Structure 1
Amino acid sequence: MKKIKYLLIGVISFFALYSNVSASSSISMTKSSSSVTAGNSVTITLTINATSPLFSIEGTMKCSGAGTSASLNLNWDDMSNSIKSKSYSLKVTPTSAGTITCSTNGARATDMASSSWQNLSASTSVSVAAKPVNNTQKPTNSGTVTPKSSINYLKSLEIEGKEISPKFNKETSEYSVELEAGTTSINVKATAEHNKAKVTGTGTINVSEGVNNIKVVVTAENGSKRTYTISATVKEKDPIVVNVGDKKYTVIRKKEQLPDISVLYTPSTIIINDEEIPVYVGDVTGYTLVGLKDEEGIINLFTYDEENKTYNLYKEFKFLPITFYPIEIDEKLIPDNYKKSKIVINEVELTCYKMSENDRFVLFYGVNIETNNEGFYIYDTNENTLQRYNDKIFDAVNEEIFILRSIVVGLFSIVVVVVVASAIQGTENKFKERLLIKKEKNSKEKKEKSKLDNKEIENKKAAKLLEKDLKRKEKRKKEKKKSKKNFLENTNVIDITDINIKK
């Protein structure tokens, strides 16, 4: 009974894992105005609707062009099972004529009726006209008005004593420069291409540790503007350097530089190298997450073991209905029949365990961040769903599957034997039939030949009899002729031709 119970639980879990309800989310992007004048703001609104309560949203919305560059993080989770619509607003202010283009990137959502993520996409644009300038010019003696210049390019841009990247080009609007630790100010120099254009944002600019965005604005004679941005990064003073594997990282010491994390973590601080460091602490797991920056400037979260002073890369994945942190384990703990492999999810390569290379279902080892349950989980690569792996249930199911498979193989073998035997019997019957037909044919041919032979014998006999008869007749003819001759020889015959009859 216990075995049957395990089997039923396994089958129910199996079908629950395979169930699929089509997603029913939609997205729309609207704007407060289809056209604005440079200097005036416009609001972009993104709305995601679903027929069932929304569960989770991911992605970003970005607007750029006409001197604007803004983005909005769409990441959102809700467990209330009551919200069917979610809206986001992004306000941008263009500084020059052109077009503002807004679009989503990597946007996707899932609701309570869905079993997988639904990719969403939306975009819109806003036309930006140049800011009107009052024309106070007096007409010349000729009666014509000289049009004002619209040239708003820079002729040169530099930071005194430093080299910006990339090399200056009037068409390139974004640059970067790295400054030594302790730098508090820089001297920005710029020259307008047109002698009547004005430049602002130059001269001595105060900077602080981290990234400083410096904007240099060129205003043409007619009022149109163009903005050049320099990202000046001041290096950390006495950075805390740590080694993870064979790579070097620096510890993030500013809270605002930490990557976003799920609502299951709370901001906190710890002491590393006698300095207070901002961290996240798991409400359920108790994990301490520290931000580390690699040599390329990429920041990721790492779990920190305060006792052993060790770090491990932390990647959180949203699988329906679980938030999961995968952990790599010793190969001795891998379940029987499974082999270590790799799989890519959200552009991240993860360690997994497969029975065969093309398996739809793979095993992960890790922690359910929402419950702190650590162990093996089975992942459906098609549906992006995850559930706890129970080796007893799956072993029972596998055992039943093995028995059923054995029965099927046995029945198939019997069918094959019957088919082969029937084929052999059929072949033998056909052979006997052909042999009988051949025998009958030979017998018939023999009979026909026998008839022909008998007829030939009869014909030969008839020919011989005819020949004998002809010989007998010829003999009689000769005998008659001879008899006649003898008769004439023995009889006096008067030749009347020699007698003269006298009158």
Structure 2
Amino acid sequence: MSHKIKRRTILLLIPLMLCGMLLSLIHVSAASAYVSADRSTVYVGESVTFTVGVTNGAGYITVSEAVSDYDWFDNSTKSYTVTPTSAGTITVRISGVVADYDTEVDAKVSDSATVQVVNRPTSSGGGNQGSSGGSSSGGTTETPQPTRSGDADLASLSVSAGTLTPKFSAGRTSYELNLPSDADSVVITAEANDAAASVSGAGEVELEQGENEIRITVTAEDGTTKTYTINAYVEEAPDVFLEYDGKSLGIVKNTDRVTKPGDAFEEVTLTIDGKEVTGWTNNIMNVTVLCMIDEESGEKGFYLYDSEQQALTSSFRPMTLLGNRLFVVDIAEDLQKREGMTFTTVTVDEQELPGWRYDESGFDNYSLIYVMNEQGEMQYYQYEASQNTLQLYSNAAPVSTETYLHDRQIEQIAIIAAGVFAVTTIVALIGCVMIRRRSNLRIRQLHKKESE
């Protein structure tokens, strides 16, 4: 009987074991990237298709050498067609970082595919090729030329002034560069990834105010070319200046690259010192602003402008704090002094602006700011750092535990003192009443005695 039970148990376990083995086999592979060609050998002038793909993951892939591209692959593929012009080999190489769908871990990936390129056999005199594999009567077969590299990537790209945006990457071919108005040239340094490739367009480049397009071309050994473009913008020197806080600031002349302060602002043309300039006005807030530049530092910023006085009245810095669209303006000196607080620079939601900190210990997480809202109203806001919250300030300062207990103790003492005073007063009143009663009784007794 026991043998039958064991046999049945074994028979029941076998399917479970098989299921476990099957599940272990059905394991999703890790993220990977690949490149493949639809053939291994082609004739000169024939096309070959390379396929680049990412499986079970997503990420940016740089495609280089015979193909130049930089694209996002999300468990997808992309095909590239190449037509070789000379014998040798053509290679497509990929590299990048992809995130695994299952583990969400980033992994570096790379791969390459090479195709042999040969010259098409030719014959003369109309003869036929021999069956043994030799050339036909009177025919000749060209000898394949040495392999030539198709790598037209740059290994590095830098400038002598300013900063390229975004940061250089071999697969990215377009960059931005902003320079001050006194920049009349810039030195471009570019190095090819392949020593056999040549680079043109680098070196010292003369600039003009406004837009400048700088093109750096890389020519690979096999003649493949790739062009990198730097869109260099040289600030146009302002010709209208206004005084503010002891400095002479110029009105930005070209506002094409200036983002307006907010959605409700509309561009407007103003006349200052007999010249037309561009500003922005907001009818809801009832303000007009100008974009000014400090030519010494190159810093730009918005400022409130009084059209009647034709003067700047305050700096005007738009920012979004915890979902609130606010504007930082100058705080008058008479408002900077607040009892129990120190006026300084505070950090709210990782942004620095003028405000107050509490002098009392235990309130390091609290700060106060005074800013303009989207209706043009000046408002106080209290910020609490540990919870990262911002709310309208009701003039009720936060209270520490010690202060609360101290205030409660004073209240209790006051209540006790009031109670003692009340009891004393009541006892005194009762005493007065009793004395008066005795006095009246004695007077009545005297009157009665006299009458007798």
TM-score by length of 2: 0.48
TM-score by length of 1: 0.44
Q: Whose strand proportion is higher, 1 or 2?
A: 2
Q: Whose helix proportion is higher, 1 or 2?
A: 1
- The structure number with the bigger radius of gyration is 1
Q: Which has the higher contact order (CA 8 A, sep 6+)?
A: 1
